[in-house]
Structure 1
Amino acid sequence: MMYDVLLFTHSWLRWVVLILALINIYKSFVGNKGSIPYGKGEKGLAGAFVGCLHLTFVLGLILYFISPFAYQAFGGSESVMKNATLRFWAVEHAFVMILAIAAASIGKAKAKRAESDPEKFKAQLIFFSIALVLMLSRIPWGETGRLFRF
């Protein structure tokens, strides 16, 4: 029961994260051109994006240790690296998502330290885009049942 609730929340929070990433990247692209100032709204959007990423990570970390995939990967007799499904969930998905969170966090920190508004937007544009590409690369797009859990 707890596993199902966590999995549902983790899966749907992904869409919030992706939407926030796209909004931040768009605003950063526009702001990098000097069109808008970097204000409280932009800082709040960046914080919401990184905060939702961290929340998704915590939920994913809990799922990592209570999921059937974790049992199969670490307690089963089959090698994780020889099984594509186990490798995806136990290694690839987790590792790449951690890299994405690191990229987004670095972008937010660099934006905070930047002196000018265009520099703030440029840092976010670069690092949030890297984070988005990493996230998109490790979402199980081919498994539609995993994309929209009801």
Structure 2
Amino acid sequence: MYNVILNLHSYWAFLVLLVLIVATFNSIIKYSSKKEYGPKDFRLALFTIIVSHIQLLIGIILYVVSPRLSLFSELGMGGVMKDSLTRLYLVEHPLINIIALVFITMGYSKHKSKLSSHAKFKTISIFYAIGLVLLLTRIPWNIWLGL
């Protein structure tokens, strides 16, 4: 079961990154060119938050069923923090990615209350870009791309 969830989490991450990159650059480009905010922009922002939250749920399930979780009791918190790979999987990756999702969620929520297209695109651009940068910093690239 662990391997199935791990593969789902890994492959779903490609979708999350793709959609988040498209939504971020869409809002940056349309903000810069002063385009009108339309239904397609709303759907893209909504789809981004949906796939991101699904990834969070898959990640939480993966975290709970992970054999690495027992390392907390075996090594203690100090031992987990001393090993960079264990720290990445048990502390940094989950924590930073949850923070990234908070930024994405805040951006989506805040943009809905804005009245002008310019303000909507600016809000999405800022918050989605912060979330994207955070996500990109905590992906275990060497292992993830070796699937």
How many residues of Structure 1 are paired with residues of Structure 2 in the alignment?
A: 145
Provide structure 2 residue ranges, at least 5 long, that are not aligned to the other structure.
none
* Matches of 2:141 and 2:124, distance apart in 1: 26
Which amino acid is 2:124 matched to?
Q
- Among 65, 73, 76, which residue is 1:75 paired with? 73
- CA offset digits 1:43-88 (Å, max 9, x no partner): 111111111111111111011111111122x231352111111111
Which amino acid is 2:138 matched to?
R
**2:24 is the alignment partner of 1:25:** yes
Q: Secondary structure at the match of 2:75?
A: coil
Q: Paired residue for 1:38?
A: 37
Which amino acid is 2:142 matched to?
G
Q: Paired residue for 2:63?
A: 64
* Matches of 2:57 and 2:95, distance apart in 1: 14
TM-score (norm 1): 0.91
Q: How does 1:67-106 map to 2 (within 5 A)?
A: 67-72=66-71, 74-77=72-75, 79-106=79-106
Moved over 6 A (4+): none
Cα RMSD (Å) of the superposition?
1.3
Identity %: 34
Provide structure 1 residue ranges, at least 5 long, that are not aligned to the other structure.
none
Which amino acid is 2:75 matched to?
S
Which amino acid is 2:115 matched to?
E
Q: Paired residue for 1:3?
A: 2
Q: Of Structure 1 and Structure 2, which has the larger fraction of its residues in helix? A: 2
TM-score (norm 2): 0.92
**2:116 is the alignment partner of 1:116:** yes
